[in-house]
Amino acid sequence: MHPHLKYLIELQAVDFRLIEIRERISKFPKQLAEVEARVTAAKQLITAAKDALLTSQKERKTYEMDVEQWKERAKKYRNQSGEVKTNEAYKALLHEIQNAEDEAAKAEDRLLERMVSGEEYDRQLKAAEAAVKQVEAEANKERHAIQAEYNTAQKELAAAEAARAASAAAVPEDLVDHYERIAKRHGGIGLAEIRGEGCGQCGVHIRPHMIQLLQRDGNEEFYHCETCTRILYYPDHSAAPGPAAPSPAPSTTDSSAAPAREH
Ligand SMILES: [Zn+2]
């Protein structure tokens, strides 16, 4: 193995960790927005219930006035009955009284309906207010939990960034640049271990001869995957397992690694 490769492998392990932490941090705004959306939705139910209640109260006032007016009119006609001279006029007046009483009864029915539905809207409003209290309490817990996770992730990020600086310091600068150029093009992953007979990152087949070269003691060459261009290494299975790398994408193409003499 190239003498600098083991430091690059350490650097890659820290970078995997950084990718994971940054991924987690990037999800916090969405998590918070979901909590706020639930609170907003619950509050909208209060607004809707208040609007319905207000409309119902306005209608109730209108119907109360209707009842009053029709009753007034019926009373007025009844008071006129003593002054009527002809039978015809008396019949007409009775008809008017009946009509006004019918209208008053209808208005009373409408009023009663409104009073019943008003109670229902009142119940809905109280239920919506209770629901908001519950949603707010849950949202507060979630906000605190998200904030705590965020603070932890920020600490982990700072620690991983410090660890990265330490790992990078152990690798020659031009090699770090080379690794970072490859990593930048490939989702932050510049190295690929050999897995089975393939590239551990893109999955392409690597020729057995190349794998032998990578395994050879005293090898001082860097070899790159011909397909994804990542720096290849043969994992040291005697060492403790490092952080898990993302699974390679399945590939049906066949290729082999090419030696590179940049370092
Ligand atoms: Zn590859």
Residues surrounding ion ligand 1 at CB below 5 Å? 199, 201-202, 225, 227-228
The total domain count for the chain is 2
Of the residues 146, 169, 192, which one is the last residue of a structural domain? 169
Q: Is there a single domain that holds both residue 206 and residue 224?
A: yes
Q: Is there a single domain that holds both residue 66 and residue 151?
A: yes
Longest pairwise C-alpha distance within the chain: 133
Cα 170 to middle of ligand 1, angstroms? 25
Q: Is there a single domain that holds both residue 78 and residue 200?
A: no
Range of the domain at 193: 172-260
Q: Is there a single domain that holds both residue 204 and residue 110?
A: no
Helix (H) or strand (E) holding 258: strand 258-260
Residue 213 lies in a domain: yes
Q: Is there a single domain that holds both residue 120 and residue 67?
A: yes
pLDDT confidence band for 240 (50 / 70 / 90): very low
Q: Is there a single domain that holds both residue 40 and residue 161?
A: yes
Paired residues of 193 in beta bridges: 233
Find tokens 């409408």 and name the residue: 110
Cα 260 to middle of ligand 1, angstroms? 14
Residue 23 lies in a domain: yes
* Integer Cα distance of 156 and 206 in angstroms: 36
Phi first, then psi: what are they for 248, rounded to 5°? -70, 150
Cα 203 to middle of ligand 1, angstroms? 6
**Mean per-residue pLDDT, 182-195:** 93
Q: Which of 33-37, 48-52, 240-244 is the least confident region? A: 240-244
Q: Is there a single domain that holds both residue 160 and residue 194?
A: no
The reported pLDDT for the residue numbered 113 is 92
The better pLDDT of the pair 261, 21 is held by 21
**Mean per-residue pLDDT, 135-160:** 97
Cα 186 to middle of ligand 1, angstroms? 10
Cα 262 to middle of ligand 1, angstroms? 18
The reported pLDDT for the residue numbered 82 is 85
- Provide the token pair at 15: 């970078």
Percent of all residues in the chain with a pLDDT value above 70, rounded to a whole number: 90
Q: Is there a single domain that holds both residue 29 and residue 110?
A: yes
Cα 108 to middle of ligand 1, angstroms? 83
Q: Is there a single domain that holds both residue 121 and residue 199?
A: no
- 154 residue type, one letter: Q
Cα 128 to middle of ligand 1, angstroms? 57
Q: Which of 153-157, 167-171, 253-257 is the least confident region? A: 253-257
Cα 36 to middle of ligand 1, angstroms? 43
Cα 136 to middle of ligand 1, angstroms? 50
pLDDT for 259 beyond 90 = no
